[in-house]
Amino acid sequence: MFTERGRFGASAMCNWDLDRPTLQVPFQKSCSDTTTRMPKETSSAASATARRSSRAAAGVLLAAAALFAHGGNAWAEPPAPSAWSNEPIKPLPALPVLDARKVALGQQLFEDRRLSSNNAQACISCHDIHTNGATGKTKDVGPFGQPMLRNTPTIFNSALNFRQFWDGHLATQHAAISEVVQNPVVMRSTWHEVLGKLRSDHVVVDKFTAIYPDGVQQNNVMDAMATFMKTLQTPNARIDRYLAGENSALTPDERLGYQLFKSYGCVACHQGANIGGNMFQVMGVLGNRGLYFTKDGALVTDLGRYAVTKQEADKFVFRVPSLRNVAVTPPYFHDGSASTLPEAVHAMFEYQLGRKPSPQDLELIVKFLGALTGEYQGHPLKAPESR
């Protein structure tokens, strides 16, 4: 969330037993139990995907653990993916057929500064769809000069996440749009104010009435924007071509990196069509769970999902981020504390797996993550120039 205000009291989450010593546990059981309890308005497609991929990943994780011994680098060249039945990573789902007029209007609104109270920023100011769907900043600064509590996640593929925001406190993008507009740390506006501004613009009014008989209304603004945001998918990543059976879409090193990604257990959490975004997990599964947050003697300022649920078990719990396009979305983590991908992967080994990777394994996994970069409107996503 952005501030203490504006939570919708969501309660769906995966109740992992977080004190379990190893990762070879049925992670997925409690998650699928929970996803079936997700609020109604949650995209049923997204939750079905989450359930399916969660189950698939359980099998793969355990099979991978049985098949491979960790350490060393002597991986055999994996077979072509078509020979595998149960990949934990899925290709992006096809886009539904959408009303092109709504998409165009939604994009216009996404770029419209009048959504902020002082007309200083639009959604695109922090979610730049011309680069990586975010910015390169650790924490963005809002239209009134106020710093955000957390790193801005990419807006690309965000419609596929099972819940919205780092702490997952909202279930739908409609709800997210409404909160962002009214949130005092972001747009600091009201619907009354936004609708007033839009209704005084005849060009905008005409566009609305051509699509929606009741014209400029809150629901219609949210509908157009959410429809546009659905189109922000990034297909044609090399991993997708590989999963579709094109073995040479990944280099030999990237294929080994994918093997390692699976056998080390990264797929226990980063899985499914969005390679993440379908469960909650503690940051610091192994060892002292508060360690990551206090490692530099820092005070803990962000307890993650605990702020939403006030449950002890939710301290330091975040939604697992999607790894699609991760090579071009630095800096990393909810606080933007890791500035490079090797640094982020190293931290994952330390806090989520309780081990140290060999430099070769780390390098191969980082290379693999480079194959997760997809395309928007036919062009590969790129990192913003200013970091």
Within 10 A of 359 (CB to CB), how many other CB atoms are there? 11
Shortest spacing between CB 102 and ligand HEC, in angstroms? 15
The tokens 């899925």 sit on which residue?
90
Q: Which amino acid is at 220?
A: N
**Reduced to 3 states, what is the DSSP secondary structure of residue 89?**
strand
User: Which residue in the set 64, 334, 364, 367 belongs to the binding site for ligand HEC (CB under 6 A)?
Assistant: 334
Shortest spacing between CB 211 and ligand HEC, in angstroms? 19
- Indicate the length of the chain as a whole number: 387
Hey, what are 353's tokens? 């797996």
Q: Does 370 interact with ligand HEC (rule: CB under 6 A)?
A: no
Exposed / middle / buried, residue 246 (Cβ in 10 Å: 0-12, 13-18, 19+): middle
Rg (CA), the chain: 21
Q: Does 321 interact with ligand HEC (rule: CB under 6 A)?
A: yes
What residues does 280 pair with on adjacent strands?
319
Contacts within 8 Å (CB) and 24+ apart, 3-6: 3/149, 3/183, 3/184, 3/185, 4/307, 5/183, 5/184, 6/179, 6/182, 6/183
Euclidean distance between CA atoms 126 and 139, whole angstroms: 10
Supply φ then ψ for residue 122, to 5 degrees: -115, 175
User: Which residue in the set 10, 12, 57, 123 belongs to the binding site for ligand HEC (CB under 6 A)?
Assistant: 123
Q: Does 239 interact with ligand HEC (rule: CB under 6 A)?
A: no
Footprint (CB under 6 A) of ligand HEC, residues 155-184: 158, 161, 164-166, 173, 176-177, 180-181
DSSP structural state of residue 151 = P
Q: Does 329 interact with ligand HEC (rule: CB under 6 A)?
A: yes
User: Which residue in the set 31, 249, 285, 372 belongs to the binding site for ligand HEC (CB under 6 A)?
Assistant: 285
Euclidean distance between CA atoms 158 and 277, whole angstroms: 8
Q: Between 115 and 237, whose beta carbon lies closer to ligand HEC?
A: 115
Among the listed ranges 85-93, 232-240, 242-250, 324-332, the one in contact with ligand HEC (CB under 6 A) is: 324-332
Quick one: how far is CA 163 from the chain centroid? 9
Q: Between 137 and 378, whose beta carbon lies closer to ligand HEC?
A: 137
Hey, what are 385's tokens? 């120039």
Q: Between 22 and 82, whose beta carbon lies closer to ligand HEC?
A: 22
Shortest spacing between CB 355 and ligand HEC, in angstroms? 9
Q: Does 115 interact with ligand HEC (rule: CB under 6 A)?
A: yes
DSSP string, 172-224: -HHHHHHHHHH-TTTT---HHHHHHHHHT-HHHHHHHHHH-TT-S-HHHHHHH
Q: Does 361 interact with ligand HEC (rule: CB under 6 A)?
A: no
Q: Between 15 and 378, whose beta carbon lies closer to ligand HEC?
A: 15
Shortest spacing between CB 189 and ligand HEC, in angstroms? 9
Size of the site for ligand HEC (CB under 6 A): 53
Q: Between 69 and 83, whose beta carbon lies closer to ligand HEC?
A: 69
Shortest spacing between CB 225 and ligand HEC, in angstroms? 6
Comparing CA positions, the residue from 42, 47, 38, 325 lying closest to residue 173 is 42
Footprint (CB under 6 A) of ligand HEC, residues 19-78: none
Site string for ligand HEC, 71-110 (x = CB under 6 A): ----------------------------------------
Q: Examine residue 331 and say whether the peptide bond preceding it is cis (omega within 30 degrees of 0).
A: yes
Q: Does 254 interact with ligand HEC (rule: CB under 6 A)?
A: no
Q: Which residues contact 258 (CB under 8 A, 6 or more apart)?
A: 78, 239, 242, 250, 368, 371
Q: Does 266 interact with ligand HEC (rule: CB under 6 A)?
A: yes
Angle at 254 between CA 251 and CA 255, to 5 degrees: 85
Q: Does 6 interact with ligand HEC (rule: CB under 6 A)?
A: no
- Residues contributing to the site for ligand HEC (CB under 6 A): 1-2, 115, 121, 123, 125-127, 140, 142, 148-150, 152-153, 158, 161, 164-166, 173, 176-177, 180-181, 186-187, 225, 264-266, 268-270, 281, 283, 285, 318, 320-321, 323, 326, 329, 332-334, 344-345, 348-349, 352-353, 365
